[in-house]
Amino acid sequence: MEKLVSLCKRRGFIFPSSEIYGGVGSTYDYGHYGVLLKTNVKNAWWRAMLRERDDIVAIDSAIIQHPRTWEASGHLANFTDPLVDCRFCKQRFRADHLDQVQCGHAPSKHPGEAPECDLTEARAFNLMFETTVGPVKESGATVFLRPETAQGIFINFKNVLQVARKKPPFGIAQVGKSFRNEITTGNFIFRTREFEQMELEFFVPPGEAPQWFAYWTAARRDWYIELGIRPDYLRLRPHEREELSHYSSETSDLEYLFPIGWSELEGIANRGDFDLRQHTEYSGETLEYFDQQTKERYVPHVIEPSAGADRAALAFLCDAYDEEEVEGETRTLLRLHPRLAPIKVAVLPLLRRDGQPELATEVYQALRGAIQAEYDEGGSIGRRYRRQDEIGTPWCVTIDHQSLADRTVTLRDRDSLAQDRVAIDVLPGELERRLKAPWRTPKLA
């Protein structure tokens, strides 16, 4: 993980937040390539949810919602982690994560293992961030930054049903920031206090819930594999009965083999009719579906695939990171799926003279409208290739002296290092073809 963290900083994917002030626990800022990568992850999710199907609509709800939302959802009462304090080192730990963290004064040990450790009993700590609305703190109502995007979907169920002309089975999808005052953070962007979620609430007739749970569990696994994750690095872990959340009758975690071990990437839950019934009770608005044809009235059940955009980006980065020996040197690269790569093509003049920069600029400008491209003329060609390898650019186009004579370029492939001579006229079509072609990571070979 350290190598990846260092690459992310060096190449401008992800920086520790507020670094000039010494940082603030477990928050990160995304740099240029990080923004492009995470945007591609979210776009791939939207594409699978919206563009490739007709039964899902989008929503973008507010971060601050009516506080009753969190009473109804159970977050006020139940969204807690067990917390212990150490009276000796004054640090706080999640009681169920003691075996994963370091003791505050004897880092080679876990909390509670050193003779001086003096841990309190575990107590429940609510993970929601509180703030107040209105100019006067005392008189303002306490509100919460949403700890998940899902509730913004449930409280809009009626609005969407009235306008979307959909009937169950249908879904409402949302991507947005969520906030959790996590006790145990760390492991880079795996667990942070603010993060982006990609959540689908899929409303189905009650009798169809088990089959849709199986459907979404498989579909979500396939999504990661299609985007290049090695199947051996993914597994499904069904929750034991005692692990299930208060709202769920069935949950499976899709786990990825991160460098820290198997850890949750996405959760898929059968939430039954819990949420719609709770919001009906707390708001007084009836949240149900009336089928005009059959005259049947029912509260739909909900299947929820809930993913983290940052955690998914981390999994794609971990899976893509590679080092190989090329001509006695170590080549570090990100073998990202071309659809996820921040930059699809870099245009590089071999020399900064003889008309090469001018022709390279012409090629770059012809490509940039269609795909994310970058122009780079600084430094030796070897250094520029290394830089593009490290940010995961699948193709480099090099303009050399021959290009000026016959209007051809070399097209270098990040994974195979093959260099093909391609005419400038057919270059946009060739890149489009390559971008659409199925891609498999060479790490599988």
Residue whose CB is less far from ligand ATP, 196 or 273: 196
CA distances from 51 to 43, 45, 144, 208, 212 (A): 10, 10, 33, 24, 20
Residue whose CB is less far from ligand ATP, 84 or 175: 175
- Dist CA 420 CA 152 (whole Å): 50
The 8-class DSSP code of residue 64 comes to B
Residue whose CB is less far from ligand ATP, 72 or 315: 315
Q: How far is the CB of 105 from ligand ATP (least distance, A)?
A: 26
Residue whose CB is less far from ligand ATP, 38 or 191: 191
Residue whose CB is less far from ligand ATP, 12 or 186: 186
Q: How far is the CB of 253 from ligand ATP (least distance, A)?
A: 7
Across the beta sheet with 408-413, the strand order is 373-375, 345-349, 395-399, 408-413, 419-423
Which residues, 6+ apart, have CB-to-CB distance to 186 below 8 Å? 26, 101
- Dist CA 150 CA 159 (whole Å): 15
Which residues, 6+ apart, have CB-to-CB distance to 359 below 8 Å? 349, 399, 403, 404
**Is residue 148 a contact partner of residue 267, using CB atoms and an 8 Å limit?**
no
Give bridge partners of residue 188 from the DSSP assignment.
none
Residue type, 323: E
How wide is the angle at C-alpha 371 spanned by C-alphas 45 and 361, nearest 5°? 160
Q: How far is the CB of 265 from ligand ATP (least distance, A)?
A: 6
**Is residue 305 a contact partner of residue 199, using CB atoms and an 8 Å limit?**
yes
**Is residue 83 a contact partner of residue 91, using CB atoms and an 8 Å limit?**
no
- Chain positions contacting ligand ATP, by CB under 6 A: 148, 180, 182, 191-192, 195, 197, 264-267, 306-308, 310-311
- Dist CA 192 CA 187 (whole Å): 9
Instruction: Work out the angle between the directed axes of helices 356-368 and 427-436 (0-180°, nearest 10).
Output: 50
Residue whose CB is less far from ligand ATP, 187 or 388: 187
Residue whose CB is less far from ligand ATP, 184 or 361: 184
**Which residue minimizes CB distance to ligand ATP?**
308
Q: How far is the CB of 95 from ligand ATP (least distance, A)?
A: 14
Residue whose CB is less far from ligand ATP, 149 or 403: 149
Going 240 to 244 to 248 to 253, the CA torsion angle's sign is negative
Q: How far is the CB of 229 from ligand ATP (least distance, A)?
A: 14
CA distances from 194 to 29, 97, 168, 182, 316 (A): 11, 20, 32, 9, 19
Q: How far is the CB of 384 from ligand ATP (least distance, A)?
A: 34
Q: How far is the CB of 235 from ligand ATP (least distance, A)?
A: 14
Residue whose CB is less far from ligand ATP, 179 or 364: 179
- Dist CA 120 CA 19 (whole Å): 33
Residue whose CB is less far from ligand ATP, 124 or 404: 124
